[in-house]
Structure 1
Amino acid sequence: MEEQNFLVNKFLFFQEKSQDDYFYNALIYIFEHNENGALGLIINKSLPIEEEKIFSSIGLQNISSNKSILNGGPVEVTKLFVLHDDASQKESISNVNGLCLTSSVDLLKDIGNGTNTCKYKLALGYCGWDAGQLDYEVSKNSWHIIDFNPLEIFNSEPEELISIISKTNGFDIDKIQHTDIITKH
């Protein structure tokens, strides 16, 4: 079977407008999408945890960072991910746009020690879909697919990304309404 990866390097915006839904106004960057499923990170929602606590938990006490941690998604919510731009990292999921993802503590230590000066964001948890699940959700118009330069993630606060993407793409993605498209033959 040919590998399907049509949503890799794309952003997904959840179109359902129920504030009770976990993915309400979620903007997700897709790192992997193939016949086995999909993996992505929510990149526009923060947790009330600062990086300083993460660095101190791995023994780096002298790091002063008040940057918040991204709420990456509802799967493995205690697993730490490093979203970064250092394509030379061997343990990273990488893509053509230069955005990489790893769960390696070594990179985090290198960042904390100043031996790696890559741009980065930290996230707890991720979004995962089983085989065919994301394809089905896209076919039901649950997600709006967006092209955008992923490296802009590093230049913006998470909560500003929807506004920035809207301006760049020329439409307000926050105003997108969910509709079931019915095709008549």
Structure 2
Amino acid sequence: MQGEGRAIGGGRATGSMTGRLLVATPALKDPNFDRTVVLLVAHEPAGALGVVLNRATEVPVADVLGDWSDLAREPAVLFEGGPVQPDSAICVARLRHPTQRARGFQQVSGAVGTLDLSADPGPLRENFAGLRVFAGYSGWGSGQLEQEIEEGSWFVLDALPGDAFVDRPDDLWPMVLRRQGGMMAAVAHFPPDVALN
């Protein structure tokens, strides 16, 4: 699929991919990442870290982080960020204005970044348009993600500011693929189990 839109796949990725989406290809057989969309919140020579955007749980944010729950976008539940350290939490937030600065906010791309949940939410509420909380994360060691991309496990695509905050996260995988157009859009209709086709 190399060359479709702004996708990287089947070739060596160069430079930092922080802020981009990893979209699982049908060739990816790891059940942890089947039909997932991962936002890379960090990518450097030592490795990469991201959160799965489309795996909602049934645990309300209010049950875990009551003070922050009114800023959680619908569905206002915890998300499974990945298989690494599932007892830890990463918060992805969106500033109301991309030029704003806020205490505890680390920019990933544009108005989207990670937010330190140990801060007092009171004075910060007016700065953010919404947030999502992820239990655990997805991680790769040095060169591991690049190898998986080269093997055809992931499409690397541009993220839109609202991707981490969609109301229907289950629809994110086909939605991101369809907006690429061409052959990439056709992948969105790939059956979950080819044997059933």
Same fold (TM over 0.5): yes
How big is the alpha-carbon RMSD for the aligned residues of Structure 1 and Structure 2?
3.0
Within a 5 Å distance, the mapping from 1:95-174 to structure 2 comes to 95-106=108-119, 109-110=121-122, 114=125, 116-170=127-181, 171-174=185-188
Unaligned runs of 5+ in 1: 178-185
SS in 1 for 2:139: strand
Amino acid at match of 1:121: R
Amino acid at match of 2:179: T
Q: Equivalents in 2 of 1:8, 1:117: separation in Å?
A: 21
Amino acid at match of 2:24: F
Higher relative contact order (CA 8 A, sep 6+): 2
The residue aligned with 1:70 is 79
> Could you say if the C-alpha distance between residues 41 and 161 of structure 1 is closer, same or farther in structure 2, counting changes exceeding 3 Å?
same
The residue aligned with 1:80 is 89
Q: Equivalents in 1 of 2:90, 2:20: separation in Å?
A: 19
Q: Percent identity?
A: 18
Q: Equivalents in 2 of 1:116, 1:61: separation in Å?
A: 13
Amino acid at match of 2:152: N
Residue 124 of structure 1 deviates from its aligned partner by: 0.8
Amino acid at match of 1:26: T
Q: Equivalents in 2 of 1:46, 1:145: separation in Å?
A: 22
> Are 2:29 and 1:30 aligned?
no
Aligned residues: 168
Amino acid at match of 1:84: A
Q: Write the deviation string for residues 2-59 of structure 1: whole angstroms up to 9, x where unpaired.
A: xx643222111122354x6211111101111111100111001111211120134xxx
**TM-score computed with the length of structure 1 as normaliser:** 0.75
Amino acid at match of 2:86: V
Unaligned runs of 5+ in 2: 1-13, 192-197
Residue 163 of structure 1 deviates from its aligned partner by: 3.2
> Could you say if the C-alpha distance between residues 61 and 150 of structure 1 is closer, same or farther in structure 2, counting changes exceeding 3 Å?
closer
Q: Write the deviation string for residues 47-81 of structure 1: whole angstroms up to 9, x where unpaired.
A: 1211120134xxx4996986221111111111122
Mapped contact 2:90–2:133 kept (Cα < 8 A): yes
**TM-score computed with the length of structure 2 as normaliser:** 0.71
> Could you say if the C-alpha distance between residues 156 and 64 of structure 1 is closer, same or farther in structure 2, counting changes exceeding 3 Å?
closer
